[in-house]
Structure 1
Amino acid sequence: MTPERVKKYIIAVDHGTSAMKVALADTCGEILAFEYEDTPLYLYPDGGAEQDPDEWWTAFVKATRRLLTKQLVPKEDLVAICVSSQWSGTVAVDSDGKHLMNAIIWMDSRGESYIREKNEGIINISGYGILNIARWLRSSGGLPAKSGKDPIAHILYIKNERPHVYESTYKFLEPKDYLNLRLTGKFAASFDSIMLHWVTDIRDINNVHYNKSLIRKMGIDEEKLPRLLRAVDILGIVKEEVAHELGVNTDTKVVVGSPDLQSAVIGSGAVQDFEGHIYVGTSSWIICHVPFKKTDITHNMAALPSSIPGRYFVANEQETAGACLKFLRDNVLFCDDPNRFNNPEVYQEFDKIVENVPPGSNGLIFTPWLFGERTPIENHTIRGGLHNISLPVKRDD
């Protein structure tokens, strides 16, 4: 008789903007259990949006230890850790891997003026110089966001506004790649996580690499960028002290992993070309894989490297979606309830409220632009509101 195959398990990390979620899954994708810890977000009047990487790590350790304390599987059958994380963030670290300032996350627009200078030319279309459009589209498939919310704009902001941090930076890392650094001590990014720096050549999807011309165009130092690997590669094993801190074996592997957007579409099962996936989290997006490299600059859509080797995907994002529900929870409906942060069932109360609301909410319109918008028109200053308010409108609408 063939001996029964012993199941192996993975610690799967979903590092979002609002919380750190850690799940225990088997290698077939079945989730046994999960834990989460909230992570604070710091917003500033000048368009700044930051998080403390130490608070990320503390949340990760707490959630992981709580998960493993349940002893659902033998410790020796935990074979790997894989991190998926919020995308389009920047962590400046020194050569010892210590962060030099708070992480600048995907909502931050303070680099807007600096990226505008790089985007513009003598003759412009939608804020981009014609020659710049040709250069970027040919190599990286897209264009730096005019809002200043891409990592390349974060780096330019640091270089111009905090030059001492820029000079002391050994590597600029995405949030996922920072957590991987804490786990393994190794500096690296994946083909898909590095994309929004807009300094790579993706024409050969199996050989994504830095474009020295684009790096010079941006005025940054190539040596401050991490080496590139595939999302499916093994980055290394956990550091011994980290293994003891988490409660895993010292031979536990760490997979390079991919950002949240790319991971979510795979998790949904939409892995064939043109199979659509819709997601609602802090932000929201619609995404599908495509068999070509193509860009629509008027609607901020581009085919970019997928975390599936050799594949492209195309996506479009809305800046705030689930964040609007959180705003409603914290500032309107349950602002006086101290337990709202630790009660995931609170959103079910929303379902009860809308049961008696007629379709169309009596004509009330909510524009969900609570922190600017990326699509269909990019504008980091636009704000949300309630419109078409009339006497029939009630609180529940």
Structure 2
Amino acid sequence: MGDLVIAADFGTSGVKVGVVDSSLTVLARVTETYPLSLASGGMAEQTPEDWWGALAHALAALRRDVPDLSKRASALIFSSQLLGLICCDENGTPLRPCLTWLDKRAAPLGQKLIGGFPEVLGYNIPRLAKWLRIANGAPAKNGMDPTAKMLWVMQQEPEIYARTRWMLDVKDWLIHRATGEFTTSPESANLSWVMDTRQGREGWSDTLCALTGIDRSKLAPITQADAVVGPLTAQAAAELGLPPEVQVLGGTSDVMASALGSGEVADGALHISIATSAWIAGFFPNRRLSVPHSYATVSTGLDFRPLLIASQENAGSALDWVCGVTGGGAVDTGFDDLGAPQADDPFFLPWLAGERVPVDNDSLRGTFHGLSLHHDGAAMRRAAIEGVALNLRWAMSKVQREKGVQTSGALSIVGGVAANPIFAQTLADALNRDIRVCSARHAGMLGTATLAAPFMSWAPTVTDAAATLKLRSSAFYSPNPDRADALAARAEKLDKIRRRLIRSYT
């Protein structure tokens, strides 16, 4: 057996692939991009073969960096974006492009599924009670969950649905492409809202399948993240340039990969991931749920251990947009040299694609509030950095009320935006809390690699391996008292603006 693992973290815009050794050191890494097709009506699709092609290209580059990779690689592990839907035939061939997590065209169907008199917060009360009891949550109103996407294919593309043998998430298809096996993760199953997540009963729920009309026979077996699914097929091995003896593990979602990569694996220890979107997450000893604020724990591939996820739609995507429209250039450099914050800087609400936590409302839209003639692009970019940070403060104000949450000590952050020192300092000021930046751009990849630790005899458990990553901070930020006070005052004003805006969209 070789001494290296290959971890591939598939995001919305590209895949990060790394070669990792027993000390969880990345020996080489490559990022390959792939297209995302956007269109009116909420369409956001990707071609699955583009993911596979990007993986093959990345591995070709890694073999140049690590010449003996083919001899030393022992395991291949995937993590990926969640909430996708790939309709496949019996051979695993996609019958149409993937409806990605960003796809919202099914929102009306999703709202019809969950709504109806008697209602509370837009949910039919008897159906909601059933979902909460069995699944610890319910489909979102914005149509982004697989539940609504499956119904959309049933109704809008019945010929595709009739030919569909398997309905898979992104990682599920990648594992099939690599091994020929059909599997899914507990996270993907949970967020399809037809899984029983009660302790000791974890698995597909006939009751919830009947409630939604989803055919259970089209759902893949649920597999643990660190389980060995099988070796590479001969075709996959040839395409990837790896020996067929390389074992493929069950893998996980980007959310759990980031949690492992942050090193925050103790119960109640939160971290924040800030990339295209953002989320606050942390492991808990039991299920948690907040219906009013639209977050909950999901069952993970670590023996169904609950992971709280409070997801916000807009973070890096909003910063990138503001950079583009104000002539700031690329997001990595567009927030440099902005000048000191001013007392009359505008407020920015980054809801460019709606919001989920702590208010689930797909109709919300981004806003600059308080613009004046003297404000320039730099002022708007300052407002954007502050707006994303205060949006996370808004979500954190709800999540930190959960019993057992660790509210003291440094808060770990990961994701591409976390690497931006201006944003990291602003977040420290906005939360009035020390911030520890972990392996910002590659936490997901490293977290994915920890899944191989027991298989490779690197550590007794996945969490034992992941805990060592907490010690690898790349930067540390303490709140500036004056700026923290100023942001607290601005947050108070923003709360009033936010409430009025939400009412205007409701």
Determine if the TM-score, normalized by the shorter chain, exceeds 0.5: yes
Tell me the secondary structure at the aligned position of residue 363 of structure 1: coil
- Any conservation in 1 of the 2:87–2:96 contact (CA below 8 Å)? yes
Q: Does 1:241 align with 2:223?
A: no
Structure 2: distance between partners of 1:173 and 1:167:
15
Structure 2 residues without counterparts, runs of 5 or longer = 380-506
Q: Does 1:120 align with 2:115?
A: yes
- Any conservation in 2 of the 1:12–1:25 contact (CA below 8 Å)? yes
User: What's the CA shift for 1:120?
Assistant: 2.0
1:60 matched residue in structure 2: 55
Please, which moves more after superposition, 165-174 or 360-369?
Answer: 360-369
- Any conservation in 1 of the 2:2–2:71 contact (CA below 8 Å)? no
2:371 matched residue in structure 1: 389
Structure 2: distance between partners of 1:66 and 1:328:
33
1:3 matched residue in structure 2: none
Structure 2: distance between partners of 1:247 and 1:361:
57
1:325-383 CA-to-partner distances (Å, cap 9, x unmatched) read 33345554367xxxxxxxxxx544224232x2x22584222221122211221122222
1:103 matched residue in structure 2: 98
Q: Does 1:212 align with 2:211?
A: no
1:339 matched residue in structure 2: none
2:346 to 359, 364, 389: 364
1:121-147 CA-to-partner distances (Å, cap 9, x unmatched) read 431111111111211111111011011
User: What's the CA shift for 1:35?
Assistant: 0.7
Does the C-alpha gap of structure 1 residues 330 and 82 become closer, same or farther in structure 2, counting only changes over 3 Å? farther
Structure 1 residues without counterparts, runs of 5 or longer = 1-5, 336-345
1:316-355 alignment runs, 5 A limit? 316-333=310-327, 346-354=330-338
Q: Does 1:12 align with 2:7?
A: yes
1:228-267 alignment runs, 5 A limit? 228-267=222-261
Structure 2: distance between partners of 1:120 and 1:52:
32
Structure 2: distance between partners of 1:389 and 1:171:
51
Does the C-alpha gap of structure 1 residues 148 and 238 become closer, same or farther in structure 2, counting only changes over 3 Å? same
Q: Considering fraction of residues, name the structure with more helix.
A: 2
- Any conservation in 2 of the 1:119–1:128 contact (CA below 8 Å)? yes
User: What's the CA shift for 1:57?
Assistant: 1.5
Q: Give me the identity figure in percent.
A: 32
Does the C-alpha gap of structure 1 residues 210 and 348 become closer, same or farther in structure 2, counting only changes over 3 Å? closer
Does the C-alpha gap of structure 1 residues 74 and 49 become closer, same or farther in structure 2, counting only changes over 3 Å? closer
Structure 1: distance between partners of 2:100 and 2:166:
16
Q: Does 1:227 align with 2:221?
A: yes
- Any conservation in 2 of the 1:121–1:129 contact (CA below 8 Å)? yes
Corresponding pairs, count: 379
In angstroms, what is the RMSD of aligned CA positions? 1.8
- Any conservation in 2 of the 1:118–1:217 contact (CA below 8 Å)? no
User: What's the CA shift for 1:14?
Assistant: 0.9
Please, which moves more after superposition, 294-303 or 152-161?
Answer: 294-303
Residue type of the alignment partner of 1:382: L
Residue type of the alignment partner of 2:305: R
Q: Considering fraction of residues, name the structure with more strand.
A: 1
User: What's the CA shift for 1:69?
Assistant: 2.0
Structure 1: distance between partners of 2:294 and 2:73:
41
User: What's the CA shift for 1:262?
Assistant: 1.1
Structure 2: distance between partners of 1:176 and 1:27:
24
2:474 matched residue in structure 1: none
Structure 2: distance between partners of 1:254 and 1:302:
30
1:304-340 CA-to-partner distances (Å, cap 9, x unmatched) read 11232241111111102111233345554367xxxxx
2:307 to 287, 308, 313: 313
Does the C-alpha gap of structure 1 residues 210 and 383 become closer, same or farther in structure 2, counting only changes over 3 Å? same
Tell me the secondary structure at the aligned position of residue 302 of structure 1: strand
Does the C-alpha gap of structure 1 residues 360 and 246 become closer, same or farther in structure 2, counting only changes over 3 Å? farther
1:87 matched residue in structure 2: 82
Does the C-alpha gap of structure 1 residues 152 and 310 become closer, same or farther in structure 2, counting only changes over 3 Å? closer
1:167 matched residue in structure 2: 162
- Any conservation in 1 of the 2:187–2:298 contact (CA below 8 Å)? yes
- Any conservation in 2 of the 1:114–1:153 contact (CA below 8 Å)? yes
Structure 1: distance between partners of 2:228 and 2:373:
60
2:64 to 63, 69, 76: 69
- Any conservation in 1 of the 2:187–2:253 contact (CA below 8 Å)? yes
Tell me the secondary structure at the aligned position of residue 313 of structure 1: strand
- Any conservation in 2 of the 1:174–1:194 contact (CA below 8 Å)? no
2:278 to 265, 279, 284: 284
Q: Does 1:268 align with 2:275?
A: no
